[in-house]
């Protein structure tokens, strides 16, 4: 579409209908054969559709209209006042002019020279409008906007309006179908600051975003194409400089590579000489090591033979010592057995003697006990006999005493 003179419009918004989209990005209206088409005006003018707003710190948006140029703008949510400098308005309008200059239609093929540097090349293809400032401005201002090429349509019947401009930024619109008419004027500050702006229409057709869109009519070309061309030239110059630097670096690298190759060749020759000397030195050292190893082996063999002879002699002496120790142990064992036998015999005799002495002692003790028992029995018999004798004597005495008492009593009685 960028190479054609005609563009397709949304039947509701009047803004460009991208060729690779099936619905309007703003109002979600489906595109079809009923979409009108327009071409750039033969007098060199072009319409730009634009929505403007400010992002308030409270989180709401503040819609902007041309009447708000140079006046205080209160937020409808929090009441905070906002004021925009005229220079920022000029910058926003110039960006909108740049959008319609660098997007379809492009019958003169001027935009083709911009190539990939055109920031608005996607409008009319994949995108409906440009969001500004976006990445276009180096230092974004407070004004936010969406801009697209298009044609103002009647708010009632969506027919293209007939616009007449008697001068001084004024414009009258008339719908050829329903006959609605309206009058508009460009604020003086915008007339003086943006000469290419011929008129501004605010038709009162609020969209789904809640913003009232502007229609700006520009005449001639703005300065953005020159800015993009300058940026492209700078980029191409930077690319050329980069290629020149890359070529110079390549030549320098090739020279360094040649020098490195020569240096590596010298290093290879030197390394081979060193390696040859090292191999010869290693061969001499290896021969010396082999000779030393042979001498060491011979010495080791002699030392091993001497050690083996000493080991054999030591083993022989050890065997002699062990045989003598064994004989000594056998002698000691024999003597120990004989001593044990003698001690056992002496112990047996001592035990037998002790047993005999014990039996004799027991016999004597038994005889003593029997003698003592006999003596005790005899003493008991003598004691019993003495007791019996004393009993009989006592009985005799008692009887005599009784007899005497009785006789005295009889005598006393007789006397009386």
Half-sphere exposure of 28 (CA within 13 A, CB side): 2
List the domain range (segments joined by +) for residue 194: 6-222
The span from the CA of 64 to the CA of 67, in Å, is 8
Whose tokens are 């390696």? That residue is 275
The span from the CA of 2 to the CA of 18, in Å, is 11
The span from the CA of 248 to the CA of 66, in Å, is 56
Establish if 294 belongs to a structural domain.
Answer: no
User: How many folded domains does the chain comprise?
Assistant: 1
pTM exceeds 0.85 for this model: no
Establish if 92 belongs to a structural domain.
Answer: yes
Say what the pLDDT of residue 166 is: 83
The span from the CA of 51 to the CA of 368, in Å, is 154
Establish if 48 belongs to a structural domain.
Answer: yes
Establish if 34 belongs to a structural domain.
Answer: yes
Residue 79 sits at φ, ψ, to 5 deg, of 85, 0
Say what the pLDDT of residue 370 is: 87
Establish if 152 belongs to a structural domain.
Answer: yes
Please answer whether residues 185 and 162 qualify as being in contact, where contact means their C-beta atoms are separated by less than 8 angstroms: no
Establish if 85 belongs to a structural domain.
Answer: yes
Instruction: Give the residues of the chain that fall short of pLDDT 70.
Output: 1-5, 40-43, 107, 134-141
Establish if 397 belongs to a structural domain.
Answer: no
pLDDT in tens, 263-291: 988 999 998 999 999 999 999 998 998 99
């Amino acid at each position: 579409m960028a190479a054609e003179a005609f563009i397709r419009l949304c039947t509701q918004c009047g803004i460009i209908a991208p060729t690779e989209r099936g619905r309007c990005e703003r109002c979600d209206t489906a595109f079809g054969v009923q979409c009108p088409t327009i071409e750039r005006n033969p007098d060199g003018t072009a319409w730009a559709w634009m929505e403007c707003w400010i992002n308030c710190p409270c989180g709401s948006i503040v819609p902007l209209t041309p009447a708000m140029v140079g006046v205080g703008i209160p937020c409808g949510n929090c009441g905070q006042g906002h004021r925009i400098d005229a220079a920022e308005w000029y910058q926003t309008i110039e960006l909108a002019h740049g959008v319609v200059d660098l997007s379809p239609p492009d019958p003169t093929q001027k935009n083709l020279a911009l190539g990939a540097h055109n920031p608005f090349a996607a409008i009319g293809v994949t995108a409906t409008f440009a969001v500004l400032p976006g990445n276009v401005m180096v230092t974004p201002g407070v004004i936010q906007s969406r801009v697209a090429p298009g044609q103002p349509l009647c708010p009632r019947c969506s027919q293209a309006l007939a616009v007449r401009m008697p001068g001084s930024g004024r414009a009258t619109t008339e719908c050829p179908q329903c006959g609605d008419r309206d009058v508009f004027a460009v604020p003086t500050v915008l007339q003086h600051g943006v000469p290419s702006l011929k008129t501004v229409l605010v038709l009162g057709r609020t969209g789904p975003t809640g913003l009232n869109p502007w229609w700006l009519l520009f005449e001639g070309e703005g300065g953005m194409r020159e800015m993009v061309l300058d940026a492209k030239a700078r980029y191409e110059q930077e690319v050329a400089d980069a290629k020149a630097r890359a070529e110079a670096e390549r030549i320098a690298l090739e020279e360094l590579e040649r020098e490195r190759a020569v240096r590596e060749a010298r290093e290879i020759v030197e390394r081979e000489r060193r390696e040859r000397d090292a191999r010869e030195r290693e061969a001499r050292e290896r021969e010396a090591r082999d000779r030393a190893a042979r001498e060491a082996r011979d010495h080791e063999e002699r030392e091993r033979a001497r050690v083996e002879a000493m080991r054999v002699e030591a083993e022989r002496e050890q065997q002699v010592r062990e045989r003598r120790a064994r004989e000594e142990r056998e002698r000691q064992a024999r003597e120990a057995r004989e001593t044990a036998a003698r001690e056992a015999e002496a112990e047996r005799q001592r035990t037998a003697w002790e047993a005999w002495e014990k039996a004799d002692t027991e016999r004597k003790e038994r005889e003593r006990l029997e003698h003592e028992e006999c003596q005790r029995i005899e003493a008991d018999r003598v004691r019993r006999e003495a007791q019996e004798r004393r009993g009989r004597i006592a009985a005799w005495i008692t009887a005599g005493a009784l007899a005497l008492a009785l006789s005295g009593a009889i005598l006393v009685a007789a006397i009386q």
